[in-house]
């Protein structure tokens, strides 16, 4: 079973590395994913779904399949994936029930079409035989009543961001984004210099305040693109980041013309976009473990192979 889990995650990671997959690659992934998913453990399914929630290339058939899984697995994908169009979201809400509808409410920038459809579910659920469904639907409706106000607030924030973009500010001003501390920076550089990947993954998870699994998934991208995105998103200084990338991914030390590949990769990344992407990865990671603890709190508390750090976060 462990081998099947590894094959599933390797398939997902390889697909994520494709910036512009061809039709044949999309079709091949769709054909491989469902049987691999069906034969893997629940933990591997959670990890695969959390990873796919950040991909912009998931085939529509796979997106619908993933969003139709039990909510303890599908929640991060439903809440974050950009591969779910309005019609698919509406279909999921109508066919999968109140828990899936609540996950849809978590999405940023819900369209009026989806909001209207979710509000309309009240008429479908009024006659539900299970009384517990009605409080769940009422909770969803309460969230939706605030959706329009939230969209107005978000529009105002966007206008303020656009205005702020014209103001020159110090590079050190990261506007609330997570920033690596000097101690974390020193540990990451040390472990990378010694090529101690296991210790580096632990330090990276601490710097992100995220699960060990997220740090490992970032490092699994052998192109180095995801780690470069993470380091730039956390405000890692350029020289230290280049050292880390070149020590962990040897091909990045090779020249591309007169410039090392690590520099070409780093300079091609947008700082603000990297910050937003790292925050999105963190949210998806938290959704995964919050839903897992909600589904089985005793199991999450007593899971073998997990310890608690002094900060109270779980580490594998």
Neighbouring residues of 301: CB distance < 8 A, sequence distance ≥ 6: 293
For 16, what's the count of Cα atoms within 13 Å in the CB-facing half-sphere? 24
Token pair of 298 as six digits = 């005793």
Residue owning tokens 């303020």: 160
Residue 268 binned pLDDT confidence (cut-offs 50, 70, 90): very high
Determine contact, residues 178/271, Cβ cutoff 8 Å. Answer: no
Mean per-residue pLDDT, 118-128: 58
Question: Given this model, what pLDDT does residue 265 score?
Answer: 94
Q: Which residues of 158-194 are buried (b: 16+ CB within 10 A; e: fewer)?
A: eeeeeeeeeeeeeeeebeebbebeeebbebbbebbee
Residue 283 binned pLDDT confidence (cut-offs 50, 70, 90): confident
User: In percent, how much of the chain has pLDDT > 90?
Assistant: 46
Determine contact, residues 236/228, Cβ cutoff 8 Å. Answer: no
Verify that 86 and 17 share a domain, yes or no.
yes
91 within some domain:
yes
17 within some domain:
yes
pLDDT tens digit sequence for 71-97: 999 999 999 999 999 999 999 988 888
Token pair of 266 as six digits = 């780093």
Q: What residues pair up with 315 in beta bridges, in sequence order? A: 307
Residue 137 has pLDDT above 70, yes or no: no
pTM over 0.85: no
Verify that 115 and 207 share a domain, yes or no.
no
Verify that 188 and 150 share a domain, yes or no.
no
219 within some domain:
yes
Question: Given this model, what pLDDT does residue 160 score?
Answer: 55
Question: Given this model, what pLDDT does residue 191 score?
Answer: 93
Verify that 143 and 241 share a domain, yes or no.
no
Which range is least confidently modeled, 103-112, 171-180, 189-198?
Answer: 171-180
Q: Helices 225-233 and 238-248, interaxial angle, to 10°? A: 160
175 within some domain:
no
132 within some domain:
yes
Mean per-residue pLDDT, 243-269: 92
Residue 192: name the closest of 255, 237, 250 by CA.
250
Mean per-residue pLDDT, 143-159: 60
Verify that 37 and 137 share a domain, yes or no.
yes
Verify that 234 and 122 share a domain, yes or no.
no
Mean per-residue pLDDT, 255-284: 90
Residue 234 binned pLDDT confidence (cut-offs 50, 70, 90): very high
Verify that 138 and 275 share a domain, yes or no.
no
Verify that 108 and 222 share a domain, yes or no.
no
Query: Of residues 130 and 202, which shows the higher confidence score?
Result: 202
260 within some domain:
yes
Question: Given this model, what pLDDT does residue 244 score?
Answer: 95
Residue 57: name the closest of 28, 85, 21 by CA.
21
Verify that 144 and 9 share a domain, yes or no.
yes
Verify that 292 and 233 share a domain, yes or no.
yes
Question: Given this model, what pLDDT does residue 70 score?
Answer: 94
Residue 159 has pLDDT above 90, yes or no: no
Return d(Cα 24, Cα 27) in angstroms, integer: 5
177 within some domain:
no
Residue 255: phi and psi, rounded to 5, are: -80, 140
Domain hosting 263: range is 182-315
Rounded (10°) CA dihedral 226, 308, 293, 37 = 40
Number of structural domains the chain divides into: 2
Regarding beta strands 314-315 and 259-260, do their DSSP bridges make them parallel or antiparallel, or are they unpaired? unpaired
Residue 111 binned pLDDT confidence (cut-offs 50, 70, 90): confident
Verify that 14 and 128 share a domain, yes or no.
yes
Question: Given this model, what pLDDT does residue 256 score?
Answer: 83
Question: Given this model, what pLDDT does residue 112 score?
Answer: 84
- What letter does residue 250 receive in the DSSP assignment? G
Residue 169 binned pLDDT confidence (cut-offs 50, 70, 90): very low
| Sequential DSSP letters for 170-185 | -TT--TT-----HHHH
Residue 90: name the closest of 55, 58, 124 by CA.
124
Residue 67 has pLDDT above 80, yes or no: yes
Residue 143 binned pLDDT confidence (cut-offs 50, 70, 90): low
Residue 106 binned pLDDT confidence (cut-offs 50, 70, 90): confident
Residue 132 has pLDDT above 70, yes or no: no
- What letter does residue 249 receive in the DSSP assignment? S
- What letter does residue 315 receive in the DSSP assignment? E
Return d(Cα 301, Cα 308) in angstroms, integer: 10
Verify that 112 and 204 share a domain, yes or no.
no
């Amino acid at each position: 079973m462990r081998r099947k889990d590894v094959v599933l995650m390797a398939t997902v990671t390889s697909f994520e590395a494709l910036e512009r997959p061809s039709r044949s690659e999309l079709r091949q992934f769709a054909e491989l994913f469902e049987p691999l998913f069906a034969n893997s453990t629940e933990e591997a399914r959670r990890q695969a779904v959390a990873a796919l929630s950040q991909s912009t290339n998931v085939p529509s058939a796979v997106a619908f399949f993933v969003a139709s899984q039990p909510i303890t697995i599908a929640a991060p994908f439903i809440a974050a994936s950009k591969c779910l169009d309005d019609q698919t979201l509406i279909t999921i809400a109508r066919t999968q029930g109140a828990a899936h509808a609540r996950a849809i409410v978590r999405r940023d920038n819900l369209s009026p079409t989806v909001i209207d459809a979710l509000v309309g579910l009240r008429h479908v659920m009024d006659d539900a035989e299970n009384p517990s469904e009605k409080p769940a639907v009422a909770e969803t409706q309460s969230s939706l009543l605030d959706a329009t106000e939230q969209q107005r607030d978000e529009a105002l924030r966007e206008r303020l961001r656009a205005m702020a973009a014209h103001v020159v500010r110090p590079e050190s001003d990261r506007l609330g984004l997570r920033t690596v501390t000097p101690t974390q920076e020193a540990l990451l550089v040390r472990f990378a210099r010694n090529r101690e990947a296991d210790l580096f993954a632990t330090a990276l998870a601490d710097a992100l305040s995220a699960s060990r699994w997220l740090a490992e998934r970032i490092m699994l991208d052998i192109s180095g693109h995801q780690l470069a995105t993470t380091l730039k998103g956390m405000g890692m200084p350029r020289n230290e980041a280049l050292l880390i990338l070149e020590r962990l991914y040897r091909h990045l030390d090779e020249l591309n013309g007169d410039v090392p590949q690590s520099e070409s990769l780093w300079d091609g990344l947008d700082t603000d976009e990297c910050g937003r992407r790292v925050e999105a990865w963190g949210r998806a990671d938290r959704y995964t473990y919050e839903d897992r603890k909600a589904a089985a709190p005793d199991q999450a508390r007593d899971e073998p192979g997990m310890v608690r750090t002094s900060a109270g976060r779980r580490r594998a």
